[in-house]
Amino acid sequence: MARLDVSIFDKNLITTGGTPVPQKLAAQVLKSTSKVITMAIARLSVKVGKVGKASAHAEYIDRDGRYEKQKLNDLEHAAYGNMPTWAEENPNLFWQAADLYERKNGSTYREFEIALPRELSREQRIELIQDFIDQEIGTKYPYQLAIHNPKAMDGLEQPHAHLMFNERLQDGIERDPAQYFKRYNSKAPEKGGAKKDNTGKDYKTRKDEIKELRQRWEGLSNQHLERAGLDTRIDMRSYKDQGIEKQPEKKLLPSQAKDPMIREALMQSRRADQLVQQYDLGDLSKELEKIQQGKSLAQDIERGKAEFKADFEQFKAQALQQFREQQKLEQEQAKLKPSRGMER
């Protein structure tokens, strides 16, 4: 199997394709960096569920029904809240009613799918997501929560939360399932259904609200990480907004994620990115001010940065070529292998 080589030598100097980072640059970085802040995985996506999808999705996140076998494998925590009286003992009754009585072209739920910091303990992650629910949902919407924690591609934890909620407001009026999902009656609320929140918004407004939501999640997560005594933080900004020249990593299909060669190539690429980010080679202006060196040192560092980036690009190109050549060789070997019918 092809292997992409990223090595660490003395003083944590990075080598790319066998070529070490310029020693002068590495020495200055190590000298000037007194505290390294590592970045945790940051992801928050928003999904909308259509009529007929809510009950099945609730079973999926709660690992019920046909998903029961997965419960012991990756379900870390489950909870729900703000349900009407008739669904207080079984939240899936609420989602079944939503599928049955919500108008055909309506939505039955919204879902936040959120990556949780693996650096936090199970109890700390639950506390974080519960604080987020209190902040964003409060007592307004019926919701159901599940935290899954399967193994990631690197063999470590991959905790993430599924928070699905219905945007019909809880107003204290008792309604049976059929009435609950009827059209809201502003003149006589007790005669109509529960009022739908967040309706009639255009695309730009929705997009801006999601961006603001992600920033609130970043702030809350970093508070919890700091409270836990960790030097890890999350940054919900896009690479472009962070000033990072990098394309977002494409999501792999399940079949691709299981392929050993693809997994190894991806993990090596991630490790290389982490090493580069750890020393913040993209912007040394603050460190230059701290060490108060002359113009020649600044020029040396800029030259070293350029050399490192060039070496790293060469490494990635060589790694990709090595990967393709190995694939081609294995395909040719497979063609030359005699079939079972010809074996004696």
> Hey, which residues are catalytic here?
60
Q: What is the DSSP letter of 12?
A: G
CB 270 within 8 A of CB 252: no
Structure-token match 């190109």, residue found: 317
DSSP class per residue in 252-271: PPHHHHT-HHHHHHHHHHHH
Tell me 39's DSSP state.
Answer: E
CA distances for 9 relative to 15, 31, 51, 54, 304, angstroms: 8, 17, 57, 52, 18
The DSSP 8-state label assigned to residue 273 in this structure reads H
Q: Which helix (H) or strand (E) holds 241?
A: helix 239-242
Q: Which of helix, strand or coil describes residue 326?
A: helix
Neighbouring C-alpha atoms within 13 Å toward the C-beta of 57 = 26
Distance between CA atoms of residues 8 and 16, nearest Å: 9
Beta-strand relationship, 143-148 and 160-165 = antiparallel
